[in-house]
Amino acid sequence: MINSDRLWRTLQELSEIGRYHDEKSGLFGVNRLALTDADAEGRRRVRRWFEEAGLEVRVDRIGNVIGRRRGLDDALAPVMSGSHIDSVPTGGAFDGALGVLGALEVVRSLNDAGTATRRPIEIAFFTDEEGARFGTDMLGSAVAVGRLPLATALALTDHEGKSVESELSRIGFLGTHPERLSPPHAYVEVHVEQGPVLDAAAMELGVVTGVQAISWRELTITGRSAHAGTTPMRLRRDAGLAAARIDVKLDEMARSGRYGPEMRATMGRLEVWPGRVNVVPSRVIATADLRNPSDEGMARAEADLDAFLTSLAAELGVEIRWRQTAKTAHVPFSPAIQAVITRHVSALTPRWQPILSGAGHDAQELAAICPTAMVFVPGLYEGISHNPREYSTPEACARGVEVLGRAVVELANQ
């Protein structure tokens, strides 16, 4: 039902906003960190496309932008789809954008065909899914479903102390519409897999069974600055050494298999003060990102990490404080929506498999208020993502969006 050329063109057009040249790979990536000028330009462009597609557009108080296509029975709960258009600083053209522009393509195709649906259809882009600027992922969708209070989200700050509220206001996306969504009839999202599983198995589509547990912490380690040449090793309180030991510990924990075979751990931020060659570091801010399909494995890993931080602080004479910046349990998706997606997937290709998502998605928030599931398209180059090399073919994108369209129409006629 969809127009794959138009989908591809639209994906390319959005990827030009926030585009940057990666010297190392020679490729162009996307940097549309949430609520920056680039994100604002992307938002304006996609909002315009929503409006041109005849959607009634609203912006809520956390900056989520939702476009509504009326249903024949417009009082019924809508079928919803969407994703995000913010990116990490080293992003690609597909993460999030495929879900938003895929949903837009579905609406455009329905318009072209003059097809009406019984229920309204709403498509959205949610604020700061990545969490890469303000530290908490799925920010807009978490507020929309009531998991995170609006005031807490608006008060979050970036590294420079700029708040979500002031940045939303600055870019003109601090909306007035109430942020809480009334439960949709169903939510379906298409996304690039962002991992190697589908590509390695030569699969053309994935039916997503759920999202694994996520735990983010921000660590503040305080030691004592000292002279690198004169201070004996036994007299140091080296915050940098503590951070390095924690990073090594995280890697060891994830590789050990003790917390299940699929645990992952990453220290993605590591800032050292004063950051000079001849000064023992006095302070470090670092992050720990833990993922696990098993909530039980996650809980044990968190408890063991706590114990390690306590003993390391005593051993090195540093203070280690931490706060939880994001935490979600394993989210299973609706078997009924998976069944709808599976039917449309298998009509297109025998090459598909069920898959658990390794990345976080807005769909996992929507799953708290309505039956939800996702469809994945494979990415090339071992599914690399959060990297300019992120790539999915036009055919793969079209296949995923075709499934999205058929599932949305089926659900919107229920």
Residue indicated by tokens 């990073």? 247
Helix ranges (H only) for 53-148 are 97-113, 139-144
Q: Which does 284 bind (CB under 5 to 8 A by kind): ligand GLV, Mn ion, none?
A: none
Nearer to ligand GLV, 134 or 411 (CB): 134
Nearer to Mn ion, 122 or 189 (CB): 189
Can residue 137 be called a binding residue for ligand GLV (CB under 6 A)?
yes
Q: For residues 189 and 80, what is the distance between their CA atoms, to the nearest angstrom?
A: 8
Among 130, 199, 204, 390, binds ligand GLV (CB under 6 A): 130
Q: How far is the CB of 329 from ligand GLV (least distance, A)?
A: 14
Can residue 164 be called a binding residue for ligand GLV (CB under 6 A)?
no
Q: Which does 206 bind (CB under 5 to 8 A by kind): Mn ion, ligand GLV, none?
A: none
Can residue 96 be called a binding residue for Mn ion (CB under 5 A)?
yes
Q: How far is the CB of 310 from Mn ion (least distance, A)?
A: 32
Q: How far is the CB of 304 from ligand GLV (least distance, A)?
A: 22
Q: Which does 29 bind (CB under 5 to 8 A by kind): ligand GLV, Mn ion, none?
A: none
212: CB partners within 8 A, 6+ apart = 262, 291, 292, 293, 330, 356, 357, 358
Do 157 and 27 contact (CB within 8 A), yes or no?
Answer: no
Q: How far is the CB of 133 from ligand GLV (least distance, A)?
A: 12
Nearer to ligand GLV, 175 or 360 (CB): 360
- Taking phi first (over 0 means left), then psi (-120 to 50 degrees means alpha), and beta for anything else, what does residue 5 get? alpha
Can residue 128 be called a binding residue for ligand GLV (CB under 6 A)?
no
Nearer to Mn ion, 122 or 362 (CB): 362
Q: How far is the CB of 189 from ligand GLV (least distance, A)?
A: 13
Q: Which does 223 bind (CB under 5 to 8 A by kind): Mn ion, ligand GLV, none?
A: none
Residue 287, strand partner residues: 218
- The encoded tokens of residue 31 equal 């940097």
DSSP 116: -
What are phi and psi for residue 127, nearest 5 degrees? -70, 135
Q: How far is the CB of 131 from ligand GLV (least distance, A)?
A: 6
Do 167 and 352 contact (CB within 8 A), yes or no?
Answer: no
Q: For residues 57 and 86, what is the distance between their CA atoms, to the nearest angstrom?
A: 19
Q: Which does 360 bind (CB under 5 to 8 A by kind): ligand GLV, Mn ion, none?
A: ligand GLV
- Secondary structure element (H or E) that encloses residue 228, with its range: none
Among 39, 95, 167, 189, binds Mn ion (CB under 5 A): 95
Nearer to ligand GLV, 131 or 371 (CB): 131
Q: Which does 137 bind (CB under 5 to 8 A by kind): ligand GLV, Mn ion, none?
A: ligand GLV
Can residue 29 be called a binding residue for Mn ion (CB under 5 A)?
no
Nearer to ligand GLV, 290 or 316 (CB): 290
Nearer to Mn ion, 95 or 167 (CB): 95
Q: For residues 321 and 272, what is the distance between their CA atoms, to the nearest angstrom?
A: 15
Nearer to Mn ion, 91 or 297 (CB): 91
DSSP string, 313-332: HHHHT-EEEEEEEEEE--EE
Q: Which of 195, 250, 184 has its CA nearest to residue 380?
A: 195
Nearer to ligand GLV, 96 or 240 (CB): 96
- Taking phi first (over 0 means left), then psi (-120 to 50 degrees means alpha), and beta for anything else, what does residue 202 get? left
Q: How far is Cα of residue 72 from the mean position of the Cα atoms in its chain?
A: 33
Which of positions 351-390 make contact with ligand GLV (CB under 6 A)? 359-360
- The encoded tokens of residue 411 equal 């659900």
- The encoded tokens of residue 33 equal 């960190």
Residue indicated by tokens 């990297």? 387
Q: Which of 291, 292, 403 has its CA nearest to residue 338?
A: 403
Can residue 55 be called a binding residue for ligand GLV (CB under 6 A)?
no
Can residue 167 be called a binding residue for Mn ion (CB under 5 A)?
no
What are phi and psi for residue 142, nearest 5 degrees? -65, -35
Nearer to Mn ion, 95 or 165 (CB): 95
Question: Applying CB under 5 A, which residues contact Mn ion?
Answer: 95-96
Question: Applying CB under 6 A, which residues contact ligand GLV?
Answer: 130, 137, 359-360
